[in-house]
Chains A and B, each alone.
Chain A
Amino acid sequence: MKKLLLGNAAVARGAFEAGVNVVASYPGTPSTEITEEIVKFNEVYAEWSPNEKVAAEVAIGASIAGGRAMSCMKHVGLNVMADPVFTVSYTGVNGGLVFCVADDPGMHSSQNEQDSRHYAKASKIMMLEPSDSSECKEFTKAAFELSEAFDTPVFVRLSTRVSHSQSLVELNDRVEIPLKEYEKNPAKYVMMPANAVKRHVDVEKRIADLTNFAETSEFNTVENNGSKIGVISAGIAYMYAKEALGDSVDYLKLGMVYPLPEKKIVDFAKNYDVVYVIEELDPIIESHCKALGITNIKGKDEFTLLGEYTPAMIKKAVLDENAPESIALGEAIPMRPPVMCAGCPHRGTFYVLKKLGLVVSGDIGCYTLGAVAPLQSVDTTICMGASVSAAHGMAKARGAEFNKKLVSVIGDSTFMHSGITGLVDIVYNKGNNTVIILDNSITGMTGHQQNPTTGYTIRGEETKQVNLIALCKSIGIDNVVVCDPFDIKAFEKVVKEEVNREEPSVIIAQRPCALLKTVKYTGHCKINDNCRNCKMCMKLGCPAITIKNDKVVIDNTQCNGCGLCLNVCPFGAIEKEEA
């Protein structure tokens, strides 16, 4: 039976059919739905781990114990889990082990545009790259087989357009694979120098074997159309090339992007006047071709290093054909950047931080939107967890007076991911920072995943809930205050007190995400006759509050009745109207 499946759902399906036993991941766009889809299969143990390093290690443990295991992450998650990854390349596997990493060319929802293929090369782990949902399923299935056959972890690399496009997939049944024997084998699994030195020899042999495999493997296919132009491509870029160039060129499609074949590429390239290497982001395949001494290639001299490609762009570069005419009316069209939702608890927090004019060491989550107008209060965003440790560094560099104007903001999931260690650093090294944990009871940004602070597992089962107050106290934070960010006055008072304190403190800004099913705001907010058009409420940056004919109005289709605006209006000019 053929079904329309998202690339991510197809990866999940492939892992399921391959008999995967354990899947551990941390969410991250565009990879999140893989693990959310896996949960639909009761045969598989799945979890949201606190971060990618933990997730990868859970999968590694499951593999060593003899099960088939997978961990899925976005590209920057691979940075977090890089440490175990580089060494599990040496140990190899017992049960098949797959890491599925999703890149985000164009940065639809990421803080950088790194190319994960560098990791495959650097860690010497083979990498497959599917180009549609059907390949997502087949390649993932094959990845488990290859992992066991070559005693290696295997990367499956996706990109946003593959992860988030639906196409047709043929479904098959799951094959139950018995657990592999577990035997104590320190020479393979205890990576201390004497053992690792020997394993490195095995790694190099494995890469040589895999390069041979790449020469003949069906993952790398030639399509001959009798053209004078050759195209080497992989992943979604191959689909763009096919759409743009059709049968007018010959193709070498690489389904395996590390290690790359040598003879196969040389033999292909010599048939053409010119060979275009079409790959988004970095020139990985191109550099390989150049290292093989191939000179008739065109790559990044024709195609950008930045963002996503399109068929139109490829058509222009290769065939010099222009895009069809399009309607251009020439008027400036305002941008529509993402905003905090109506009812978002973070809005209260940033309203206060903006009002107090504080320096805000920011982090990654829905609350990164505190950087955009009109709330505009976030000063920095680097990576998950950096808000806490970077503020410590800021304070050490600029001293006590600066620190009185400085706070960190970090979401509950992000705090669990990598904020705790930064907080330990502050306590240990006599820092004096104020850290605000934005506890909205969920991992919001990536679409509502449970985390260790929410009290529920990925399957929605009740579990122990990390007690943030006890946790902070136990590492040596004596001042922990819980406050509702919608109680603007109280929240402002707490922030003022804590930044002026000569000790480190944590403020837990507690109010659940407005999109949670358990949150039931009702009715709408409405402007009454007391309004003097002072526009204080406009400072909230609520998508429901706007100006029509110079008067403030609240749009009923946007307002969810959260009532925050009632708390900032100095004239009592906003009231609730029940539905």
Chain B
Amino acid sequence: MTKKIMIVGVGGQGTLLASRILGNTVIGQGYDVKVSEVHGMSQRGGSVVTYVKYGEKVYSPIIDKGEADIILAFEMLEAYRALPYLKKGGKIIINNQQIDPMPVITGAAQYPENIDKKISGNADAIIVDALSLARQAGNTKAVNVVLIGVMAKNSEIEYEKWIETIKTTVPEKFLEVNLKAFDLGYNS
């Protein structure tokens, strides 16, 4: 069976690095892998969606509605937007950060209230305060690796395999912060 993971967030939050860490960890397990990224317009503070799929043989790089085994959401509104992609019995990991999109800032739309509660009431959800954990690790930019840590804990892949990939994907000078961030997520 192909495992389907969707990573969603806001451009600039580092979702791309997260999907690459995930992709490179699973190839180490001998799987066929596809990681679909979106570059360009969506990086400028827009919604960003990446898909990671692995299994014996993966054809399509994208995930349809009702299919995702796991959704890793870097922001609450994006979690809410992605929810229809979660399969029945799937798990959604949500960073409880709120980043207002421009239509909310200009008053043209309202940020929905109590998103975390609404999602928890309808799906298997794990809510994390990844921003605080990243700050604790030493850099608010490490939110992505905190969330990878949470995901790792919920995966069948061993702890050491994740650490190995982080060591090869993250630049030397950010390594210490990121390893700390990973652990904080893993043990949260």
Interface bits B137-151 vs A (CB < 8 Å: 1, else 0): 000100000000000
Q: Which residues of A contact B (CB under 8 A)?
A: 2, 4, 6, 29-30, 32-33, 108-109, 132, 160-161, 164-168, 236, 239-240, 242-244, 310-312, 323-329, 331-341, 366, 369, 372-374, 445-447, 538, 541, 543, 545-547, 555, 557-558
Within 8 A of A (CB), among B73-112: 77-78, 80-81, 83-88, 97, 99-112
Find chain B residues with CB under 8 A from A538 CB: 105-106
Is A372 a contact partner of B102 (Cβ separation < 8 A)?
A: yes
B17: min CB distance to chain A, Å:
13
Find chain B residues with CB under 8 A from A374 CB: 102, 106
Is B109 a contact partner of A335 (Cβ separation < 8 A)?
A: yes
Q: Does any Cβ of A come within 8 Å of B67's Cβ?
A: yes
CA distance A108 to B12 in the complex (A): 17
Is B102 a contact partner of A337 (Cβ separation < 8 A)?
A: yes
Find chain A residues with CB under 8 A from B97 CB: 557
Is A323 a contact partner of B65 (Cβ separation < 8 A)?
A: yes
CA distance A164 to B19 in the complex (A): 12
CA distance A337 to B46 in the complex (A): 5
Q: A334-B110, A338-B45 are in contact. Are A166 and B37 (CB under 8 A)?
A: yes
CA distance A333 to B112 in the complex (A): 7
Q: Does any Cβ of A come within 8 Å of B33's Cβ?
A: yes
CA distance A329 to B37 in the complex (A): 27
Q: Which residue of A lies closest to B51 (CB)?
A: A165
CA distance A538 to B102 in the complex (A): 10
Is B38 a contact partner of A333 (Cβ separation < 8 A)?
A: no
Is B44 a contact partner of A366 (Cβ separation < 8 A)?
A: yes
Q: Does any Cβ of A come within 8 Å of B185's Cβ?
A: no
Q: Which residue of A lies closest to B57 (CB)?
A: A242
Give 21 pairs: A residue, B residue, CB < 8 Å, sorted on A.
Answer: A29-B41, A109-B39, A164-B39, A165-B35, A239-B59, A239-B61, A240-B59, A240-B60, A310-B60, A323-B64, A325-B88, A327-B83, A331-B118, A334-B111, A334-B112, A336-B47, A337-B46, A338-B46, A339-B46, A546-B105, A558-B99
Q: A333-B112, A339-B44 are in contact. Are A557 and B131 (CB under 8 A)?
A: yes
Q: Sort A-B residue pairs by CB-CB distance and give the 6 closest, nearest first.
A: A109-B40, A324-B66, A29-B40, A338-B46, A326-B66, A334-B109
Q: A166-B37, A168-B32, A311-B64 are in contact. Are A336 and B59 (CB under 8 A)?
A: no
B89: min CB distance to chain A, Å:
11
Q: Which residue of A lies closest to B26 (CB)?
A: A4
With most chain A CB atoms within 10 A of its CB, the pick from B40, B122, B140 is B40
A545: min CB distance to chain B, Å:
7
B43: min CB distance to chain A, Å:
7
Is B59 a contact partner of A242 (Cβ separation < 8 A)?
A: yes
Q: With contacts A29-B39, A30-B40 known, what are 18 further pairs, Cβ within 8 A?
A: A32-B39, A132-B61, A165-B35, A239-B61, A240-B59, A240-B62, A242-B59, A243-B60, A311-B62, A312-B65, A326-B84, A334-B103, A334-B112, A336-B10, A336-B78, A341-B45, A447-B39, A541-B105
CA distance A372 to B86 in the complex (A): 31
A564: min CB distance to chain B, Å:
15
Q: A161-B36, A545-B105, A546-B104 are in contact. Are A239 and B60 (CB under 8 A)?
A: yes
State which of B67, B86, B87, B106 has its C-beta within 8 Å of the C-beta of A373. Answer: B106
Is B88 a contact partner of A168 (Cβ separation < 8 A)?
A: no
Find chain A residues with CB under 8 A from B86 CB: 326-327
CA distance A546 to B104 in the complex (A): 8
Q: A166-B33, A167-B34, A327-B84 are in contact. Are A335 and B101 (CB under 8 A)?
A: yes
Q: Which residue of A lies closest to B140 (CB)?
A: A557
Is A4 a contact partner of B33 (Cβ separation < 8 A)?
A: yes
